Amino acid sequence: MTLRELLKSLHGVDEKCLDKEVMVSPPSGGYESISHVSVLYVGHAVIHLAAPQPAELPTDLWAGSQEGDVPAVNPGDLKKVWQLFIDFQARNPSQSGSIGSTVYESVCSPGADVEAVWFRASMLAMMTKMMPEMLAQWTHDGELDDVVFEVAATFPMKQMQVGVVRQGPPFDVEEFLKQIGGGT
C-alpha cells in the first residue's frame, strides 16, 4: 500500500489534499510506549500514523542444552501446538514464518516444557512434509489420529545438535510407526 492509498483510505482526508506536498517526521512521540509518524499538511490538520511495533522475537528454542533426550510431554499439549502449525500454514500458504514462544505457552498446560512440545511437533511436521506416506494410514480428512500424538508425546527422541549432520530423524522411525500401529 502506498502512502497515497493509505491516506485516501482514512476517513476525513479530502481527496484534493492527497497530492499536496507533505512532510513526514521521523518516528517520535512524547511517550516511551507510543511511537508514531506525523504527516503534516501545510494549513491542514496533522495526521498521526502509528508505527508498527516490532514483532516479538521468538525464543531461541535451540538455546538450551543440545544433548540428551527430549523430555516427554502431554499429548494434549502436543496436539494443540500441532494445530497452531496447521492454522499458521492455512493462513499463510507457501510462506514461512515463526510463532513466538508465548503463543505456544498460551495453548499448553501450565508448567509445560514448551521447547520439548515444539520439538516433538516439529518432528511430526517434518514427517508429514518429507515422508507423508508413513503417517497416511493415521491421517483422516487432513487430521492426524490421536494415537499419533499419544506416541509422539513420549517416544524416545534425541535433541538435535547445531552443526551435527544426521542421516535421518533423531528417533527410530520404524519403531515409532510400530508403536503407533500397536495403539490403533
Per-residue pLDDT, 172: 94
pLDDT per position as a tens digit, 82-137? 999 888 888 888 777 777 788 889 999 999 999 999 999 999 999 998 889 999 99
Per-residue pLDDT, 52: 46
Judged on CB neighbours under 10 Å (0-12, 13-18, 19+), 107 is: middle
Which of the pair, 78 or 100, is modelled with greater confidence?
A: 78
Per-residue pLDDT, 5: 63
CA atoms within 13 A on the CB side of 121: 24
Which of the pair, 143 or 32, is modelled with greater confidence?
A: 143
Q: What is the DSSP string of 114-172?
A: HHHHHHHHHHHHHHHHH-GGGGGGGEETTEE-HHHHHHHHHS--BPPPTT---SS-SS-
Per-residue pLDDT, 155: 97
pTM: 0.64
Per-residue pLDDT, 31: 35
Per-residue pLDDT, 35: 38
pLDDT per position as a tens digit, 11-63? 444 555 554 444 444 444 443 333 334 343 344 444 444 444 455 544 444 45
Task: Output the nine-digit C-alpha cell for 117.
Answer: 512440545
> Are residues 6 and 49 in contact, defined by beta-carbon separation less than 8 angstroms?
yes
Per-residue pLDDT, 38: 38
Q: At residue 48, what is the residue type? A: H
